[in-house]
Structure 1
Amino acid sequence: MESSLFESRLELVARERSGHTAVVEGDLLYVWGGYMSLDDDEVFLPSDEFWVYDLVQGAWQVFHMTGEVPPSMSGSCSCSLNGHMYIFGGCDDNGQTNQIYRVKLSGDHYAWTKVVHRVGSAPSPRDKLSCWVHKGRIIYFGGYGHKLVAEVDRRNRSFIVDDISEGVMWGWNNEVHMFDPTQSSWGQPQTHGRAPAPRAAQACAMLGNRGYICGGRVKETRKNDIHCLDLDSWMWSEIVPVSSVPVGRSWHSLTAASDSSLFLFGGLSVDCKPMSDGWVFDVETKTWGEVEHPFKNKPRLWHTACPGKDSDVIVFGGSCDYILLVDTGHCNDALVFQMAPYPLFRICEDYIAKNAREYDALRKQLPLLPPKLCASVRRRMSFYRPSKKQHTQVF
């Protein structure tokens, strides 16, 4: 009975989705929210579902969440901080929101808590924004949302108007807001230098004390610029590459690949084509270089990309088609990009796990390993089960 339950759990597969949010903590990928196609319509996924993927075993589990459950949304911004996943903003059936929620990423029960700030003012409602984590605080940038007409200073180019209706303006912004969970406080730091133009659906990543953003959309333009914000001095600077650059895009991802490099993947191009190209940007030499990989036939946009162990980048979900089309091709597979040579221990563990089922002599020697190592190898063997539907692809 126990074995049967274990087998069926390994066969569980997360729902297809785009516009979701995800974080990696340890060996686990946590996925929440987004939307999918159902009967020729686009529907938000249940907000009380929490999908957890074991990156070692290649196994999914789904949990029913309790507590102060947020509304079902897409376009929320998430991060991992002090063992919690925080989400902010997003778009639900009533439009953009500016609420913040958190859930503790441990145990076998997950409960949402709505975070109520005691100090400062929350940013205006928005979605498709970015965030960084620095010194225990969450720093948010940009996004698309709405403000009251009286709140918008037309002389200040921090908000570009897209539409106006009944005293409300919708548009793109380049604001920087900071949330301190320990103080439950919002603040808006005074930045210096030339800020990036307002935008949404940009990609962001963190290296050291600097937050980077790349591309994004404002009006009908999709950008390919790259900027960084020093999160100690609050100084903006644009990085001008000295090499050829990727084409402009939105709904792509940018992930730290090393201490000095960023990995860009996919997105929607200026001419609204889904892309599958991968690029590495070296922040020290200011050069872009295109990366060859086996996922060229898997375009992705509005997916998530998270840094994993050993410099892996885990891309999950997203759309393989233009998402403004009804019944678009949402995805539920995980693509693992290997951005650096693996340590010898991981190479050996993977080799044993992959071949132990095929070679009797190797399998029979497993009990001779130290107990902790033996358990680790057996756990990894689940990833290579021949009968399991392989929804993880590794480069």
Structure 2
Amino acid sequence: LIETFFCQTIYFYKFQLYISIMPMAMFQEVAAVANLVNEGFGDCPQVERFCYASDSRSIYIFGGIGFDEHYKDQLYRFKIGSGWEELDQCGDFPLSRADACLGLNGNKLYLFGGTNSNLVLLNDFIEYDIGLKTWRRIAPAGGYLPPPLSKASMCNVELCLYLFGGETEQTENANMGRGYSNKIYRYSIVEHKWEEISPKSTVRPPAVCGCTIVAVGRKLCLIGGIARDNSINDQVYVFDTEKETWNLWGEKAPGVGRAFHSAIAFAGHYILVYGGKDQEEWESSNFFIFDVEKRQWFESKCDEVRAFTAIAGERFGHAAGILRDHHNCSSLVVCGGVRDQDFASGIVQTILRDLNMLELTVILEFLIPYHSVSRDSKRAESKPSDCAANNDCIDL
């Protein structure tokens, strides 16, 4: 009875829960939304421009740049119940880097590319055995590797890794310097072989970086990304891994386009998109849901989602995952990243160390089709008023 009472009546915008005074497992039982300071469990690594991957139990973060502006080579893992830990690294471990790609399949992590401290683009490919805590540099069959890339996106479909987009030195005009890529590459984990895929369709996505490709079944959904002319991709491009074709799904949705956001598949045919930077370079706390079956964007207007976005706040370059606890309860986890200005402290370019969770049982409640809002409305939403901060506003 007490548990039911708490679950139905506590909303986090009225107070905060801290791990230091509440066990992690208990948190899952008493609130749908929480901001976790992680005292006693370790803070989120204080780095930006890291790469990450997640499964249903863990979020892994590698590399990035610290507040001291040094490039990092640490590997971290977050698990519900044990918090953050730095993992040991043995073998042929990678050099420090930022803006790399990290893939995950089974008990193996796959690291590709990025930028080193000399601003050189990389294309090394290294495998990490999570059980053995050992890195192994992969020499692919045939010797082929994708070109050096940074700020690209990687995901896996069955026993293959797919790599798309990113900053590249392979441009049509050598005098233009670095550009962005719209090429797609596939790595067979079984055959240990990379290949560039030549799409069999006339539809092509834009060349972008800071995008995400999300696997939904055997299809890859391209969400967001920024082009060389600073335009933001606001359409969903879908790559069929069997037919090797690109298609456009849904209509343009002004306001949805963003870069350096998170996008995660959920419940078979939804993609949850959070944060990032929009067309005007504003960081965002917007939470959008793309329904793959309906090919349409939605928003959730339930109180828990509104509380979550208010607490997690605006950020970009963060990590996200859908994790299950020991009760098999799934939650969206958003952690780290960057906020250009922390409104509470006034500090510019803040590297965030918090971790925020939202139970997924509430995600799909009160879904309404997304309609774009004006720039002035977005500005008002991005800077909450004093009354909102003090929770003494009245909804009219």
Shorter-normalised TM range: 0.7 to 0.9
Q: Hey, what does 2:57 align to over in structure 1? A: 27
Q: Hey, what does 1:293 align to over in structure 2? A: 306
Kindly state the Cα deviation for residue 22 of structure 1 after the two structures are TM-superposed. Answer: 2.1
Q: Hey, what does 2:175 align to over in structure 1? A: 164
**What SS is found at the alignment partner of 1:201?**
coil
Distance in 1 separating the partners of 2:262 and 2:102: 13
8 Å Cα contact 1:204/1:255 also seen in 2:
no
Structure having the higher strand fraction is 1
Q: Hey, what does 1:303 align to over in structure 2? A: 318
Distance in 1 separating the partners of 2:245 and 2:133: 38
8 Å Cα contact 1:23/1:78 also seen in 2:
yes
* Corresponding residue to 1:240 among 238, 250, 255: 250
Matched, 1:75 2:99: yes
Q: 1:25 to 1:181 in 2, by over 3 A?
A: same
8 Å Cα contact 2:149/2:167 also seen in 1:
yes
Q: Which runs of 5+ in 1 are unaligned?
A: 1-7, 155-160, 343-395
Q: Hey, what does 1:56 align to over in structure 2? A: 81
* Corresponding residue to 1:328 among 344, 349, 353: 349
Q: Hey, what does 1:158 align to over in structure 2? A: none
Q: Hey, what does 2:336 align to over in structure 1? A: 317
Q: 1:9 to 1:330 in 2, by over 3 A?
A: closer
Which amino acid in structure 1 is aligned with residue 123 of structure 2?
N
Which amino acid in structure 2 is aligned with residue 293 of structure 1?
R
Which amino acid in structure 2 is aligned with residue 84 of structure 1?
K
* Corresponding residue to 1:118 among 141, 152, 173: 141
Map 1:263-302 onto structure 2 (within 5 A). Answer: 263-291=272-300, 292-294=305-307, 295-297=309-311, 298-302=313-317
Q: Hey, what does 2:199 align to over in structure 1? A: 191
8 Å Cα contact 1:277/1:290 also seen in 2:
no
Q: 1:322 to 1:88 in 2, by over 3 A?
A: farther
Q: 1:268 to 1:93 in 2, by over 3 A?
A: same
Distance in 2 separating the partners of 1:311 and 1:53: 15
Distance in 1 separating the partners of 2:263 and 2:56: 20
Kindly state the Cα deviation for residue 56 of structure 1 after the two structures are TM-superposed. Answer: 2.8
Kindly state the Cα deviation for residue 306 of structure 1 after the two structures are TM-superposed. Answer: 2.0
TM-score, normalised to structure 2's length?
0.72
Q: Which runs of 5+ in 2 are unaligned?
A: 1-37, 364-396
**What SS is found at the alignment partner of 2:210?**
coil
TM-score, normalised to structure 1's length?
0.72
**What SS is found at the alignment partner of 1:70?**
coil
Kindly state the Cα deviation for residue 311 of structure 1 after the two structures are TM-superposed. Answer: 4.7
Which amino acid in structure 2 is aligned with residue 78 of structure 1?
L
Deviates more, 1:182-191 or 1:67-76: 182-191
Distance in 2 separating the partners of 1:103 and 1:80: 9
1:7-61 CA-to-partner distances (Å, cap 9, x unmatched) read x9944323212211222345232221111222xxx2222x1x222222134x222
Kindly state the Cα deviation for residue 125 of structure 1 after the two structures are TM-superposed. Answer: 0.5
Distance in 2 separating the partners of 1:105 and 1:246: 39
- Which 4+ stretches in 1 moved above 6 angstroms? none
Map 1:326-365 onto structure 2 (within 5 A). Answer: 328-340=349-361
Identity fraction in percent: 18
8 Å Cα contact 2:341/2:348 also seen in 1:
no
* Corresponding residue to 1:211 among 204, 209, 220: 220
Distance in 2 separating the partners of 1:198 and 1:25: 28
**What SS is found at the alignment partner of 1:340?**
helix
Matched, 1:176 2:191: no
Q: 1:341 to 1:290 in 2, by over 3 A?
A: closer
Matched, 1:86 2:110: yes
Distance in 2 separating the partners of 1:263 and 1:287: 12
Kindly state the Cα deviation for residue 118 of structure 1 after the two structures are TM-superposed. Answer: 2.4
Kindly state the Cα deviation for residue 341 of structure 1 after the two structures are TM-superposed. Answer: 5.2
Distance in 1 separating the partners of 2:153 and 2:55: 19
Q: Hey, what does 1:262 align to over in structure 2? A: 271
- The RMSD of aligned alpha carbons is 2.5
Deviates more, 1:212-221 or 1:25-34: 25-34
Which amino acid in structure 2 is aligned with residue 300 of structure 1?
R
8 Å Cα contact 1:274/1:322 also seen in 2:
no
* Corresponding residue to 2:42 among 6, 12, 29: 12
Kindly state the Cα deviation for residue 282 of structure 1 after the two structures are TM-superposed. Answer: 0.7
Distance in 2 separating the partners of 1:9 and 1:100: 35
Give the aligned length: 309
8 Å Cα contact 1:102/1:113 also seen in 2:
yes
